[in-house]
Amino acid sequence: MFGEFNFGHVIVLLLILASVVLWIAALVSIVRADRLTATERVIWILVVIIIPLIGSIGWFAFGRPRRSASS
């Protein structure tokens, strides 16, 4: 079973681990976002749960509220 474990397997495992970490970070970020309404928060959580990788990337690219320049 582990006799054919090679560098390709390590890469795949690292990619899976990175996507899980990104997914968890997105969920934590959504829960902690102060500037979201309850409806927006629920929608983003559902998007991230239903389509984890794309939803997580979408949250960090488009959904996360920006800090204002005065903050």
Distance from C-alpha of 20 to C-alpha of 53, rounded to nearest angstrom? 8
pTM, two decimal places: 0.81
Is residue 23 in a domain? yes
Is residue 3 in a domain? no
pLDDT at 5: 75
Can you tell me the mean pLDDT for 1-18?
84
Is residue 20 in a domain? yes
Is residue 49 in a domain? yes
pLDDT at 8: 86
Is residue 46 in a domain? yes
The parent domain of residue 33 ranges over 11-63
Q: How many structural domains comprise the chain?
A: 1
- For the stretch 14-56, pLDDT in tens is 999 999 999 999 999 999 998 899 999 999 999 999 999 999 9
Q: How far is CA 59 from the centre of its chain?
A: 7
Phi, psi of 68 (to 5 degrees): -75, 160
Say if residue 70's pLDDT is above 70: no
User: Scanning the structure block, which residue is given the tokens 């390590």?
Assistant: 10
Is residue 1 in a domain? no
Distance from C-alpha of 50 to C-alpha of 59, rounded to nearest angstrom? 13
